[in-house]
Amino acid sequence: MAEETIFSKIIRREIPADIVYQDELVTAFRDIAPQAPTHLLIIPNVLIATANDASEAHEQALGRMITVAGKIAKEEGIAEDGYRLIINCNRHGGQEVYHIHMHLVGGRPLGPMLSH
Ligand code: 5GP
């Protein structure tokens, strides 16, 4: 069983976060250290530590993360210009918080997908 992270506390609103969307499956909130004019995190309400831990039982929540990303992108006014959705996994992916999350970044040209 994976250990809870700070993101579980954000979902339960036990610590402050700028939550822009929440439903029975997912929560979306602004990243505390934005790397672009728009930078949000979209997470499942259930704890899935990494992409390696995703199973069929999670498909509804994982699918919802993408539809919510599109909805938020429209609300943020970045849908037409475009944006990037990123899920980092484990060390080589640069994952820091072990509650799976999708970054929604945009609001400026983001350049090549990988810097090095
Ligand atoms: P990772 O590197 O795991 O893909 O991304 C973790 C992200 O979570 C980082 O962009 C980091 O800024 C963000 N983050 C870490 N702790 C907090 C927090 O307490 N609140 C918010 N809103 N974002 C956080």
Work out which ligand 1 atom sits closest to the CA atom of 86: 4
The conformation of residue 29, written as its DSSP 8-state character, comes to E
Question: What is the pTM for the complete model shown?
Answer: 0.98
H or E segment and range at residue 85: strand 83-86
Contact 72, 21 (CB under 8 A): yes
Examine the residue annotation and report whether 92 is marked as an active-site residue of this protein.
no
Ligand 1 centroid vs 33 CA: distance in angstroms?
7
Q: Whose CA is nearest to atom 18 of ligand 1?
A: 32
Q: Whose CA is nearest to atom 12 of ligand 1?
A: 33
User: Mutate which of 21, 22, 32, 87 to test ligand 1's pocket (most atoms within 8 Å of Cβ)?
Assistant: 32
97 lines ligand 1 (CB under 6 A): yes
pLDDT score at 1: 72
pLDDT by residue (tens digit) across 12-63?
Answer: 999 999 999 999 999 999 999 999 999 999 999 999 999 999 999 999 999 9
pLDDT by residue (tens digit) across 55-69?
Answer: 999 999 999 999 999
Sign of CA dihedral 51, 56, 61, 66: positive
pLDDT by residue (tens digit) across 73-96?
Answer: 999 999 999 999 999 999 999 999
Number of residues written out for the chain: 116
Domains of the chain: 6-106 (3.30.428.10)
